[in-house]
Amino acid sequence: MARVGIFGAGWVGLVTGACFADLGHEVVIRDVVPEKIERLRAGEVPFHEPDVPELLERNRDRLIFTLDVDDIADCEFLFVCVDTPPTYSGDADLSRVWTVVDELPELDGRPILVMKSTVPVGTGDKIRHGLDLRGLSHVGYASNPEFLAEGNAVRDFMHPDRVVIGAFDDADADAVAALYAGLDARVVSCDVNSAEMIKLAANAFLMTRISFINEIANVCEVTGADVVKVAEGVGLDHRLGPHFLRAGIGYGGSCFPKDSLALKQLASNSGYHFQLLSAVIEVNELQKRRVIGKLTKHLGPLRGKKVALLGLAFKPNTDDMREAPSIVLASRLLAEGAVVRAWDPVVADPGNLPRGVEVVDSVLDAVDGADAAVIVTEWADLRDLAREEVRDAMANPLIIDGRNLLDPVAVRAEGFVYEGIGRRTVATDVLPETHEREPEPELH
């Protein structure tokens, strides 16, 4: 068993550390934020991620949380798990990565610096050079990107589709691979640049699938097809597969938006215009806004209309609000003059949600008197949304299902007007006569 040091007690660092500890390794997690370390020492986990609290608790004896960089000096592996947020230009901000390199203490033997943070292609080369300049030529370097999805991270770590390891030295690659020996994992060994690109390309491809199916959904709407059936039929082709073909109101989160921009800028910086990726990003931006058109279709101008946003997190089973489509949607609704009430079962800190949105504690509070309810995140709690008490509470029985969570037939049978994304509308999808439409604004 190895001694593993981890720089960064964020989501990636903690999941990685907890899982390595569960595999039997001794793990030292170092962060620069004192409150974070204090909370972790007290057994608190600063975010919502299934199974992580249990893993940290179960492996307490093998986990050390520290502020002191010298505590990782005797580790054989030094994992970099700091964030690489986008800069104003869209490039990845590597300042925290470089701080780690600058802060490395005196190291004996042949420890290996392992990059888990998502970085542009070419970063490993630069860090190798930086290590050499600092007199740390004896420190190995490897790129070992993470492919963990929020809400599923522990399962993804323990049952990986692959472990990618790019190294300058075969012995370093073998040593990193040995850390995962307890897992049934296929290892892809390659050069450092390729490992860095595998991470960016995998995310870009997943986003491409999402924007592709969202555009198919939009075409389904104007041609009378149902994207859920289309995705099923397409995904059964073994060359295509069923994953990431769920149409909706677009992707968000801490990774896809930032990584797509970083890859686009990486290509631009090298003189290449990555047209397909640019389109993927643009389609996603437009997709978040399409709900406004659907609401207007049923309600007319949205000024003064009450809209319930159900779900705020960028996806279920996480409390992460970073780049969540709910933020764009709420901003657009407020700009149209709508009154916005929102509910989420887990999100405690609504982050960048615009001021003016009232966040309430229950679905019933959110839909009370609402002209429309919009499913923004496909939380399991919303599966029974189309029930009598919800219908009775609403001013208009209108559900816009931004994640195609519900069965349209069952929802309509409960007396709701239903509209999903890329799903066929039916003749009865009109609000009752009692609904008062405001006059359309005059065009000059």
Q: Report, as residue numbers or ranges, the catalytic residues.
A: 255
Closest approach, Cβ 79 to ligand UGA, in A, equals 14
State the number of binding residues for ligand UGA (CB under 6 A).
Answer: 21
Residue 206 touching ligand UGA (CB under 6 A):
yes
Residues 389 and 400: their CA atoms lie apart, in Å, by 17
Of 20, 251, 379, 418, the residue at the interface with ligand UGA (CB under 6 A) is 251
Closest approach, Cβ 151 to ligand UGA, in A, equals 7
The residue to which tokens 């790129």 are assigned: 143
Residue 333 touching ligand UGA (CB under 6 A):
no
Residue window 365-404: x/- pattern of binding to ligand UGA, with contact defined by CB under 6 A: ----------------------------------------
187-190: strand order across its sheet: 63-66, 26-30, 3-7, 77-80, 112-115, 140-143, 163-167, 187-190
Of 246, 298, 305, 423, the residue at the interface with ligand UGA (CB under 6 A) is 246
Closest approach, Cβ 433 to ligand UGA, in A, equals 36
Whichever of 199 and 298 has its CB closer to ligand UGA, that residue is 199
Whichever of 150 and 401 has its CB closer to ligand UGA, that residue is 150
Task: Please list every residue from 308 through 327 that binds ligand UGA, using CB under 6 A.
Answer: 314-315
Closest approach, Cβ 202 to ligand UGA, in A, equals 7
Going by C-beta distance under 8 Å and a sequence separation of 6 or more, which residues neighbour residue 270? Answer: none
Closest approach, Cβ 186 to ligand UGA, in A, equals 16
Of 5, 13, 124, 252, the residue at the interface with ligand UGA (CB under 6 A) is 252
Which range of residues in 180-188, 203-211, 232-240, 361-369 is near ligand UGA by CB under 6 A? 203-211
Closest approach, Cβ 287 to ligand UGA, in A, equals 9
Which range of residues in 249-257, 270-278, 388-396, 432-440 is near ligand UGA by CB under 6 A? 249-257
Whichever of 27 and 283 has its CB closer to ligand UGA, that residue is 283
Whichever of 251 and 274 has its CB closer to ligand UGA, that residue is 251
Closest approach, Cβ 318 to ligand UGA, in A, equals 7
Residues 32 and 21: their CA atoms lie apart, in Å, by 21
Which range of residues in 102-110, 240-248, 347-355, 388-396 is near ligand UGA by CB under 6 A? 240-248
Task: Please list every residue from 133 through 192 that binds ligand UGA, using CB under 6 A.
Answer: 146-150
Closest approach, Cβ 194 to ligand UGA, in A, equals 17
Residue 225 touching ligand UGA (CB under 6 A):
no
Phi, psi of 35 (to 5 degrees): -60, -35
358-360: strand order across its sheet: 358-360, 339-343, 306-310, 372-375, 398-401, 417-419
Of 117, 143, 144, 203, the residue at the interface with ligand UGA (CB under 6 A) is 203
Which range of residues in 70-78, 108-116, 242-250, 349-357 is near ligand UGA by CB under 6 A? 242-250
Q: Are the beta carbons of 39 and 199 closer than 8 angstroms? A: no
Q: Two tokens at 45?
A: 């986990």
**What is the identity of the amino acid at 367?**
V
Residue 253 touching ligand UGA (CB under 6 A):
yes
Whichever of 66 and 152 has its CB closer to ligand UGA, that residue is 152
Closest approach, Cβ 204 to ligand UGA, in A, equals 10
Residue window 97-136: x/- pattern of binding to ligand UGA, with contact defined by CB under 6 A: ---------------------x------------------
Residue 248 touching ligand UGA (CB under 6 A):
yes
Could you list the residues that contact ligand UGA (CB under 6 A)?
118, 146-150, 203, 206, 210, 244-246, 248, 251-253, 255-256, 259, 314-315
